[in-house]
Amino acid sequence: MSRVAVVTGGTRGIGRAICERLQADGFTVAANYAGNDAAADQLKADTGIPSFKFDVGDHEACLEGCAKVVEALGPIDVVVNNAGITRDGTLHKMSYDDWHEVMRINLGGCFNMAKACFPGMRERKWGRIVNIGSINGQAGQYGQVNYAAAKSGIHGFTKALAQEGAKFGVTVNAIAPGYIDTDMVAAVPEPVLEKIVAKIPVGRLGEAQEIARGVAFLCAENGGFVTGSTMSINGGQHMY
Ligand code: NDP
């Protein structure tokens, strides 16, 4: 029987590319999303991948949502924590709500999904958790103290949980994408985007499929020796 993978924010952008790639690699895939039913319906129509609507920032909703996935598809072997939002603004203009909402969804979502799925992986002695961080969590970014803090937190969360999962066959890794051509980046004003692209050594935005390839590598059956790592996929924009 094929392994079951849940991709949060799996109905659009990078998440959708991850769903399609994992399905192509033989996983039974479930996509989670927040509210855009049309994107979820489109994913189902195009690929047959079912979607489960719940807010990853809501602890109880995650537990219930994952229980529904298990009921429909079987025990969850792979979680890709991809759902994320931005609420940009410089600190002096940023509201507490903008801070909290980004922390709640981007970082809290990783905790909530791990709470729902890690215990079962541990019991079954196999699991893959991939958390989608960001170049801006590694390097910081003007106007994004909330997002950079949440994404940086994801990288710490990854390394800590990797230590807990190691002896149970559960790997926990992160991917730090650079700027990828999705709705999230389309929201960046054109002049700002031009300046960003000028700083990317390969001279272009990344494609969602280029992140999905990294996820597939980390989720592979024989990927058990890669854990606690962060894979940077950013066109050479940030190296360390
Ligand atoms: P998009 O904005 O294109 O898609 C976001 C997805 O997340 C949607 O499916 C959305 O659902 C879902 N989502 C948002 N909030 C929630 C929530 N509370 N609960 C469940 N699902 C939710 O994002 P991208 O594809 O661009 O980004 C994906 C990830 O990659 C994010 O974590 C982002 O921070 C990260 N990233 C992106 C980069 C980029 O350049 N695009 C660069 C670095 C990192 P719905 O459709 O229902 O709204």
Q: What is the pLDDT of residues 226-240, one digit of tens each?
A: 999 999 999 999 997
* Over residues 93-114, mean pLDDT: 98
Q: Is 33 in the pocket of ligand 1 (CB under 6 A)?
A: yes
pLDDT of residue 179: 96
- Split at pLDDT 50, 70, 90, the class of 24 is very high
- DSSP label of 206: B
Question: Assign residue 239 a region: left if phi > 0, alpha if psi is -120 to 50, beta otherwise?
Answer: beta
pLDDT of residue 1: 80
Looking at every residue in the chain, the average pLDDT score rounds to: 97
Closest atom of ligand 1 to CA, residue 135: 43
Q: Which of 13, 230, 216, 15 is nearest to 135 (CA)?
A: 230
From ligand 1's centre to the CA of 217, what distance in Å? 21
* Over residues 173-185, mean pLDDT: 95
- Split at pLDDT 50, 70, 90, the class of 212 is very high
pLDDT of residue 129: 99
Regarding pTM above 0.85, the answer is: yes
Is the pLDDT assigned to residue 7 strictly greater than 80? yes
How far is it, in rounded angstroms, from Cα 136 to Cα 212?
Answer: 19
How far is it, in rounded angstroms, from Cα 208 to Cα 217?
Answer: 15
Q: Is 215 in the pocket of ligand 1 (CB under 6 A)?
A: no
Residue 87's φ and ψ, nearest 5 degrees, are -140, 75
- Split at pLDDT 50, 70, 90, the class of 128 is very high
Output the residue whose Cα is nearest ligand 1's atom 29: 82
Q: Is 182 in the pocket of ligand 1 (CB under 6 A)?
A: yes
Give catalytic status of residue 96 as yes or no.
Answer: no
Given ligand 1 and candidates 21, 33, 132, 204, which is best to mutate, with the most ligand atoms within 8 Å of its CB?
Answer: 33
pLDDT of residue 225: 98
From ligand 1's centre to the CA of 82, what distance in Å? 6
User: Does residue 188 contact residue 196 with C-beta atoms inside 8 Å?
Assistant: yes
From ligand 1's centre to the CA of 34, what distance in Å? 10
Q: Is 171 helix (H, G, I), strand (E, B) or coil?
A: strand
Residue with tokens 């690929």: 47
HSE of 21, CA atoms in CB hemisphere, 13 A: 22
**Among the residues of the chain, which ranges form H helices?**
13-24, 37-47, 59-73, 96-102, 108-124, 135-139, 145-165, 183-186, 190-198, 208-219
The full length of the chain comes to: 240
How far is it, in rounded angstroms, from Cα 182 to Cα 174?
Answer: 19
pLDDT of residue 184: 87
Q: Is 82 in the pocket of ligand 1 (CB under 6 A)?
A: yes
Q: Which two tokens stand for residue 220?
A: 């592979």
